[in-house]
Chain A
Amino acid sequence: MQNIIIGQYVPGQSFIHKLDPRAKLLTAFLFVIIVFLANNWLTYALLGAFTLIAVFVSRLPLRYIYNGLKPILLVIILTFLLHVFLTKEGPLLFDFGFLEVYEGGVKQGVFISLRLLFLIMITSLLTLTTTPIDITVGIESLLGPMKKIGLPVHEFALMMSIALRFIPTLLEETEKIMKAQSARGAQFSSGPIKERLKSIVPLLVPLFVSAFKRAEDLAMAMEARGYRGGEGRTSIRLLKWSGKDTTLFIILLMLSVGLLLLRS
């Protein structure tokens, strides 16, 4: 349960850990776009180099990266196979009679899989090196200008941070209720599906009741401490854009130009 609590964040002191969350968010966002510029071996190699260097610089144990990839590994393999068997371009490589594999198919399969792989690696790198609350603060700051057109940016960020704050509390409570109900004979992890689903109800009802009570209490406490919306509010969390962040930005710019020049 502890994993959910701090998200996937792995504490560290690397260059990437120390970057401004805004820089990381922007990088991840831009990366998602420029990944689609790559269309030949050279450009994919360039993206691969960037991704691998980023992973290396983060000094994260590789198993964390692998854990991030695991859930979608199947998707990547399936995508690969689909392209290999269904794209009929270029010279024929194999012929199994019922199946024909063309060179274009293999190429497409490899490219699309790599694209997915890079995307997942870069985005997991973001969540692995940034605390959820920093991500929230970063998003709030980046979307700040949108307040002018009436987007409830502050409210959204506050909601996120309160959710982050209460996830562990509610998990703890769920565990407690589960134990209480198990003591009364409820079965959560064995037995027929129907029984298990039934046993969820006496779990959810008290959980919801208490969550509403908490929400009410919290609103009262916030008001008592002078909360009156985002207007005129200052923040204790300071985001600092430094040389490191600008460097990252320039690297990303160079990467984009490189991709544009090398793509065919």
Chain B
Amino acid sequence: MEELISVQNVSFRYQEEHPYVLKDVGLSVQKGEWLAIVGHNGSGKSTLARLLNGLLLPEKGDVLVEGFNSRDEESIWEIRRRVGIVFQNPDNQFVGTSVQDDVAFGLENSGMPREKMLKRIAESVKKVRMEDFLDQEPHRLSGGQKQRVAIAGIIALRPSIVILDEATSMLDPAGRKEVLQTMRELKEEEGMTVISITHDLEEAARADRMIVMNAGEVIDEGVPVDVFEKGDMLEKIGLDLPFPLQVQRALREKGYDFSKLTLSQEELVNELWTLQSKS
């Protein structure tokens, strides 16, 4: 496994004499993984995301992206090109007056010649299946489509990591599904590394690994099934457990034995049948 991002003992606050928003945070991101970051409102997830691509700089500690330290002024552009962020609000990150203009924005910033840009744009809108909308204006697109355009604008820059900062939280279920599906395909087919910041534990359950944040600290880290074993802790910091987990926990309390927790509804149903046949 190759380490793409390394966050070392990072503390951060927005203003002096304000409390720290991140406290001694350490984590690493491996190439090709899907890492979910969950945590209550205000736990510092977005702040962390901004530190990861140099929009904010740590007060203490270091953030290294493929070896570039965000403290070095010359590294900042290298880091921003390698780490793309899809933000929460689909409207407020759409810069261009059309899909093509918006996807081009990052490329224009990097000073790419036009011919090359056109190729990159065609390539990346195809990957998010928005190739038929190139001339469309943003107000004629759905939220999910806008987020897919945002993804296209980012992958056009060929980054190593895409961060979704609650990128699906303002979308309807259909839009959410299409955006996550797009990202999963990118991960499978292009080996993209994904950091997904979310409130949705069901989404986090499908990640390769997850990190739990509370009040500016990383309080747990591991494969989702293991993290979910500590359901009390998640509930205590105000996160809603996915439905299958709630069922299993309730049944456990009643004395039924679930050796291994499952996160999918289907597996739960099977498990329940097994229990039924045993009793």
Contacts and interface: CB of A to CB of B under 8 A. Distances in A.
Please indicate whether A and B come from the same complex rather than being unrelated chains.
yes
A13 interface: no
Given A222-B105, A233-B111, A168 B92 contact: no
A215 B97 CA distance: 16
A221 B93 contact: yes
A133 B85 CA distance: 27
A227 B114 contact: no
B55 A224 contact: yes
B113 interface: yes
B84 A165 contact: no
A221 B92 contact: yes
Interface residues of B, number: 39
A169 interface: yes
A169 B107 contact: no
B109 interface: yes
B89 A224 contact: no
Interface in B77-113: 77, 80-81, 84-85, 87, 89, 91-97, 100-101, 104-113
Contact of B107 (A133, A165, A236): A236
B97 A225 contact: no
A221 B167 CA distance: 13
A51 to B, nearest CB: 30
Contact of B92 (A133, A218, A228, A236): A218
B119 to A, nearest CB: 12
B84 A233 contact: no
Interface in A188-239: 213-214, 217-218, 220-228, 232-238
Given A224-B55, A226-B109, A214 B95 contact: no
A147 to B, nearest CB: 16
B139 A172 contact: yes
A234 B95 contact: no
Interface string A147-169: 00000000000000110110011
Contact of B87 (A5, A165, A220, A236): A220
A133 to B, nearest CB: 5
B97 A234 contact: no
A233 B109 contact: yes
A133 B80 CA distance: 28
A225 B139 contact: no
B138 A217 contact: no
26 contacts: A161-B96, A161-B101, A165-B94, A165-B97, A168-B138, A169-B138, A214-B91, A217-B87, A217-B92, A220-B50, A221-B87, A223-B55, A223-B80, A224-B53, A224-B55, A225-B80, A225-B105, A225-B157, A227-B105, A227-B109, A233-B109, A234-B107, A234-B117, A235-B108, A236-B104, A236-B107
